[in-house]
Every structure is written in C-alpha cells, then in structure tokens.
Chain A
C-alpha cells in the first residue's frame, strides 16, 4: 500500500514546471498562426483522414526533436522516453490551443465537433513543435546571457553595477519587453484578424483575455523554470517584484500593441475608445507573450 503513495509537492511542482515550460515554447512558436484566419477556415472543412495525417506528421517531428533535445531534458533521450515526451507535447499543444481558441471565440459551445477538431489539429501542429523546441529556444537566450556575463572582469563589474541599479534594471526589462512585443505582434497588427476577433468578443471575454495575458506572461518569466528565473526572483526594487514587473510589462505591451495598430491604420483617432480598448487587448495577448520572451533574452 505504501508503494503507491502520491508524489510529493516538490515533484509535482517540477512536473508542472516542465509542462508550463513546454506551453511557453508553444505560445512563442504557435501564437502567430493562432491569429491567422485562413487556418480557422481551413480547419473548418479539413477532412478527418487529413487530421490524422497532420497528427502523425506532428508526432514524427516532435519525436525527432525530443530525441535530441525536447521540452523536458536537455540531453538526448532514449526512444521510449522521447515517445512519451512526444505524447505529452501533443497533449500540452492540444490543451493550450483549445484554451486560446475558446478565448478568441473561434470555438464555442455551438461550434460543430468536426470544425472544432479541425481547428485544434491544424493550430496544434506549430504549437506542439514549439513545445518540443521550448528548451532550445529559450535556453539559447540563457547561454547568450551567460556568455555575456563571463566575458571579462571589467565587463562583469559593469553588469554587476547595472544589476544593482534598480532603475537601469527596470528600464532594461521594459525595453526588452517592448522589443519582444514588437517582434511577435508586428506581423499580426496589420492583418484583418484583430478587428475580426474584436468584433466577436464581449466585455467578459476581453476580461478573460486580459487575465490570460497576465497569467501566460507571469508563467513564462517566473514559473516555467527558464534561464534567468532565479536571478529575477532575487531582484529587489519597486519594479522588480514579479507581480509588479508582470503588470508593468503588460502595460508596455498594450501601449506597443496600440501604437502598432495605429501605425497600420487599424485604429484611428476618430475611433471610439471602446474600439481602441478591444483591439489593443486582442493584440495585447501576442504582444505580451513576445514581451515575456524579450525579458528572458536580456
């Protein structure tokens, strides 16, 4: 009886961290396609045999990625371990994509099953590949950071000095958020998807998108176990507290999103403030995800 005891809290948190890390990679890789209406359309009429083919291709790609790297381990895996991780990567992809499609009102209770499955399978493909690439994508950022810190003693001293300077650290974070937000959201801002999604949303759904944006951003930077997490949690100062930093970064991402929409004439000064709010919140989701990745890169 004692042998089937439940895992400890620590083991659970390590496992959840693995899944969150995978989901974070998926969001970075898959979010542009989640904001592409052609994929929703194709998803609405894709035939079931093709869905199975797409799933099989996705599994093969993810299996190969898991053999060399994967979202869990950084060393090459055995075939069995890689197969298990691949299945988990697909599950993470399917769950996350379903949640986001629900949030964006592309799937709801009235959506026919075939249409919902088509959208989930097609959107899930890049997302799942992102899950498998999670460690590679964001560990690369850590390595670059590590190299920079160990460059020379003079430089290290300078960085140490900067780290002590809270204002500089906060500014660096906000700057990185801005760059990351622009990097991801710039290609989405000029498209028709933002007004289309805004038209289908309601105040309660916008509120859900806002909460989801904050949660995803917080998880990527402070929970998923990437790279600079420990360092970030230790940082002191008014803007370095995890919650404050997440909210500040979200505000920066929203401002960046609004500016991008205005530049691309998706928003004009003549538009009512409600239109500004709706569209900015819709583009704010990918912008925040980009911003979170940007902060990991510095």
Chain B
C-alpha cells in the first residue's frame, strides 16, 4: 500500500505532520510560560520585603582571620534592592570591629550567602549580624 501511493502520503505528511507537531510542542511551551506567569501573579503576596539574616555555618579560621558565613533570605512578596547587611563585633559594649555588605537585588524567597571577616575571634565577644536597610526597586 505504502509503495503504491508514495506521493500522496508524502504530501499529506508534509502539510500536517512535522509542522503540526512543532506547533503543538511550541504551544505547550508558550501556554506553560503564560500559565506560570499567571500562577505567580495569583499567588504572590503584595507584602513588602521581609529580610531575615541567619548564621547556618560555623565560624572558620583561615590565616589568622575569622570568617563568619551568613545567609540572607527575603520572606516577603516584593523584591528588595540595595539590601545593607551589617556585622558588628562588640566586647563590653564597645565596638571592636564593624563590617558592612550590600546585596544588589533580593527577589521574593531568594537566598544569598556571604561572609564577614574579623581579625579578632568573634566567639569571645558579642557578634551581631543584622539587616540595616533596603530600598524598593
């Protein structure tokens, strides 16, 4: 059967098959993209940024310096810009060392990691790592 009418089958396939399959594949991708955008539109809260800084890893010592890793997370609904993180080492209410860092952008539920470096052992003093400020984009 197939060999008796090759021309008909060929022309039929050409007009329907590959282009239709490619079109269906493309439709799935584009509809999927639009659905995801609608999904985040529907689920994202209009909350302002809620910034949480935490220390999840231990302090490490390298060549006489003390590295204090931290993780910053935005639990709010909107993106924060220019997030300022401050690390302060105090002893007897006196500031021994102060570090500052700025994170350019932090989307909703995004996490960034970094570290403060002190020359004195932070375990012997009072260490505070906090978010000081941000602005809305």
Contacts and interface: CB of A to CB of B under 8 A. Distances in A.
A48 B23 contact: no
B15 to A, nearest CB: 10
Contact of A91 (B12, B29, B44): B29
B81 A45 contact: yes
A91 B21 contact: no
Contact of B109 (A45, A48, A87, A112): A112
Given A11-B14, A11-B17, A45-B137, A114 B40 contact: yes
Give the dominant DSSP class at B's interface. Answer: helix
Nearest to B112: A110
A51 B127 CA distance: 42
Contacts of B27: 87, 91
B12 A52 contact: no
Contacts of B33: 55, 94, 117, 120-121
Contacts of A84: 19, 23
B111 interface: yes
A44 B44 contact: no
Contact of B13 (A8, A41, A51): A8
B81 A87 contact: no
Please indicate which of the listed interface residues B37, B41, B107 has the most CB atoms of chain A within 10 Å of its own CB.
Answer: B37
A41 B104 contact: yes
A84 B30 CA distance: 12
B110 A112 contact: yes
B110 A52 contact: no
Contact of B1 (A2, A14, A15, A41): A2
Contact of B12 (A3, A18, A19): A3
A113 interface: yes
B29 A113 contact: no
22 contacts: A5-B9, A8-B10, A11-B13, A18-B22, A19-B22, A45-B81, A48-B38, A48-B40, A84-B19, A87-B23, A87-B27, A90-B26, A91-B26, A91-B27, A91-B29, A110-B111, A112-B107, A112-B108, A113-B40, A114-B107, A115-B107, A117-B36
Interface of A: 2-3, 5-8, 11-12, 14-15, 18-19, 41, 44-45, 47-49, 51-52, 55, 84, 87-88, 90-92, 94-95, 110-115, 117, 120-121
